[in-house]
Chain A
Amino acid sequence: MKLNLKIWRQKNANDKGQMVTYPIDGIDGDMSFLEMLDILNEELIIKGEDPVAFDHDCREGICGMCSLFINGEAHGPDRAVTTCQLHMRKFKDGETIFIEPWRAKAFPVIKDLIVDRSAFDRVMSAGGFVSVNTSGNTIDANSIPIPKHDADKAFEAATCIGCGACVASCKNSSAMLFVSAKVSQLALLPQGKVEAKDRVLNMVKMMDEEGFGNCTNTGACAVECPKEISLDNIARMNREYFGAMISAE
């Protein structure tokens, strides 16, 4: 398979950056998208050029590190997959493929296709946790009865891997799907209810401060999310926030 890659190259955070075209040949349909980039990088290294920098870690769709805006969609044209799980058979021979970093003010480019997603970490530190005393008398979580469907919904929300595809896909660079998944996974459980009000207020406040946009409910995030996080979570966060806003001290 022969391809024409158009890749965003940017030396560092201060560089202006530009799209650069790289023709590539000998790509197999069974390769993953990242393997294809590995091949390109090997060629670039042999030629003495700077390889394309991109994020990756597990390469099995669970860590959320791989990103890439491919042909106008986060993680490419396939549904419910990360880029490491995207196969080259999804592309046609001779196709031109645009490869760009996540674009958001809150996710500045570090180099080439790598962006700084620590804004998500700061949102999490603002309230995405349950305060437990770990001084030796921790209670087994399973000793608290939880309705099955609440547990299921919490688990579904918790499958969010923090990849940022929702932000990248949203025309407003809104982080509502990510933050709502993180709010929901705790709000649905008795352990999380204790700090629910402060959690939603503080996480949304941090989300706004980090410069993410507002939600227009376009639904692009849920379509592009590799873990199929549902818009139900955004509605739940909107409810949680309302209750907290009018009643919190």
Chain B
Amino acid sequence: MSKSALLKSSIAKKYWMAMTGLFLCLFLVGHLLGNLQLFTGTEEGRQAFNEYGYFMGHNIFIKIMSYLTYASILFHAVDGFLLTRQNIKARPIGYAKNNAAANSSSSSRNMAVLGSAILIFIVMHMANFWWAIKWSSTPFPLHTIELDIPSQMPGAPQQKQEIYYTHDFSTQPVPKNEDVIVKNKTELYIKSVDVKIGEGYKDMHSLVYAFFGHDKSKHGFPANEFALLAVVGYVLSMLILAFHLNHGFGSAFQSLGLRHPRYTKIITLTGKGFAYLVPLAFAVIPVYIYLTK
């Protein structure tokens, strides 16, 4: 009995919904802290963000958390689908007149619709960024900087040299030319002797700036002619997320039985704050990028 109850019973299904949902809330906080670094469009901001991106891609703890996040999204969506299907079946004939607004919030009544919209957003978001950065067959542009080389002879035109921004920057600048090739996406090798001379950074910062920017190409990333659409879609998705969390955050505590006259008020307040502030902070970033020239 107790074993099958863990997955089958209505209440246990809600425990999973709540635990995966709260884990995703935690994920949102982590993701947001990273994204907030995008508020600086300068070269320093670019370096900081790309270093952060490199760290995220090369840390075992982050790796574990990312797999947990994928699993949570999947489990949350499948469980939500199963629950919703049962819920629809539980009322085969509906009311001719139903004044549901008199007794419940619209977000609480539309969790499945809101969640499905979030799922569509997640898929598009991962195609635009995660796929482009990690899996795309075309090599992902690395972070390079243009340096002015002082000319040897007076009067000669100043020369520019593109160098890779690397981990071990201090040892020696690695120029971007035909003598240096990229292996395994970020490793820089001298072509003739096949010696690794540095580790570059994927230029994720420029990807984001080109994606949401206002018709601006950015360090090898073509301008996105649908940037406005991308920004509007992103902001709308965050609004939908806010509605989902407006009910979801507090609901998860109730599903887990964490309700007490002393704490329920704090949970509700924290929930409302979280539900609107977190998506708002996410949404401001692409708007900022779009508006900055």
Hey, which bits of chain A sit against chain B, CB under 8 A? 6, 8, 19, 69, 71-73, 77, 98, 100, 103-106, 169, 171-174, 201, 204-205, 207-208, 211-220, 223-224, 231-232, 234-242, 244-249
What total of chain B residues lie within 8 Å of the partner, measured CB to CB? 44
Q: How far is the CA of A224 from the CA of B99 in the complex (A)?
A: 11
List chain A residues, Cβ under 8 A from B97.
71-72, 98, 100
B87 contacts the other chain (Cβ, under 8 Å)? yes
Hey, which bits of chain B sit against chain A, CB under 8 A? 1-2, 5-6, 8-15, 83, 86-87, 89-100, 102-105, 108-109, 111, 247, 250-251, 254-259, 261
List chain B residues, Cβ under 8 A from A244.
2
Q: How far is the CA of A28 from the CA of B199 in the complex (A)?
A: 86
B2–A216 touching, CB < 8 Å: no
Q: Which residue of B lies closest to A207 (CB)?
A: B10
Distance in angstroms from B131 CB to nearest chain A CB is 33
A204–B10 touching, CB < 8 Å: yes
List chain B residues, Cβ under 8 A from A232.
259, 261
Q: How far is the CA of A249 from the CA of B1 in the complex (A)?
A: 8
A72–B94 touching, CB < 8 Å: no
Q: How far is the CA of A116 from the CA of B209 in the complex (A)?
A: 62
Q: Which residue of B lies closest to A100 (CB)?
A: B95
23 contacts between A and B (CB under 8 A): A71-B99, A77-B99, A98-B95, A98-B97, A103-B94, A103-B95, A105-B91, A173-B90, A201-B1, A201-B5, A207-B10, A211-B90, A212-B90, A215-B255, A216-B108, A217-B250, A218-B103, A218-B104, A219-B104, A238-B11, A242-B15, A244-B2, A248-B1
9 further A-B contacts with Cβ under 8 Å, apart from A216-B108, A219-B108, A247-B2, are A72-B97, A100-B97, A105-B89, A213-B10, A214-B83, A218-B109, A218-B247, A235-B258, A245-B5
Q: Which residue of B lies closest to A241 (CB)?
A: B11
List chain A residues, Cβ under 8 A from B9.
204-205, 208, 241, 245
Distance in angstroms from B230 CB to nearest chain A CB is 32
Q: Which residue of B lies closest to A200 (CB)?
A: B11
B13–A234 touching, CB < 8 Å: no
A213–B87 touching, CB < 8 Å: yes
Q: A69-B95, A77-B102, A201-B5 are in contact. Are A172 and B108 (CB under 8 A)?
A: no
List chain B residues, Cβ under 8 A from A71.
97, 99
B103–A214 touching, CB < 8 Å: no
B103–A216 touching, CB < 8 Å: no
Q: How far is the CA of A205 from the CA of B1 in the complex (A)?
A: 9
A223–B14 touching, CB < 8 Å: no
List chain B residues, Cβ under 8 A from A98.
95-97
